[in-house]
Amino acid sequence: MKFFVDTADVAQIRELAETGLLDGVTTNPSLIAKSGRNFLEVVAEIASIVDGPVSAEVVAMDHETQMKEAEKLIPLASNICIKLPLTLDGLKTCKKLTDRGIQTNVTLCFTANQALLAAKAGATFISPFVGRHDDVSWNGMDLISDIRVIYDNYGFDTEILVASVRHPVHVLEAAKIGADVCTLPPDVLKKLANHPLTDNGLKAFLADWEKTGQSIL
Ligand code: E4P
């Protein structure tokens, strides 16, 4: 499973990129607003930090303006992935960009039928939002399972990018289903490494090592 980080915080991206665990970055207009930075500048900086896809989202609703916005974003870096809303206009833009070899991420997916349309439009990634489904008392992971079955039935190449991830159990469930990518808030990615028994075990090992009076170096 690939891990993307879902943030426009450059300091956090740098820190996580150094772990070697980061395969890409996703942003959205809310995350850009939170960063307080110029959209084009921050996206270009992020794309210079990671080698993998960096999703930059258009904000226009209509196809023509989405294409114009995409034309501004594409030259920023070779790893820019154009993020598009799951609307008919967004899908039309997705198809046009895909045909040109541009990476695309179709976002705000809440049904398996929407995911089917994105795959038919040639999307590189489909972003089903699990946490927002859970928020309204519907199991978001059922959506991931349905999309996995449908994509496998027809051999679609579109990668399932699990979005709106809120905690480590989302990652575990997505991995069991066989989702291709999870995009994670930085704190959730860090939490994956934590376990109190690891901490306790390490403490005991180091205390015993201290008793030996030895040094490896
Ligand atoms: C994905 O690309 C979105 O940016 C993100 O995962 C949305 O998450 P949220 O529902 O926590 O805002």
Element (H, E) at 45: helix 39-49
Shortest-distance Cα residue to atom 4 of ligand 1: 28
Domains of the chain (ranges plus CATH)? 2-212 (3.20.20.70)
- Six token digits for residue 35: 């960063």
- Which residues are CB-neighbours of 55 under 8 A, at least 6 positions away? 4, 24, 25, 26, 27, 81, 82, 83, 105, 107, 125
> What is the whole-number distance in angstroms between the Cα of residue 45 and the centre of ligand 1?
20
- 8 A C-beta contact, residue 61 and residue 90: no
pLDDT attached to residue 58: 98
The model's pLDDT over 152-200, given as tens digits with 9 standing for 90+, comes to 999 999 999 999 999 999 999 999 999 999 999 999 999 999 999 999 9
Ligand 1, CB cutoff 6 Å, lining residues: 6, 26, 28, 107, 127, 129, 131-132, 163-164, 183
pLDDT band at 82 (very low <50, low <70, confident <90, very high): very high
191 catalytic per annotation: no
pTM over 0.75: yes
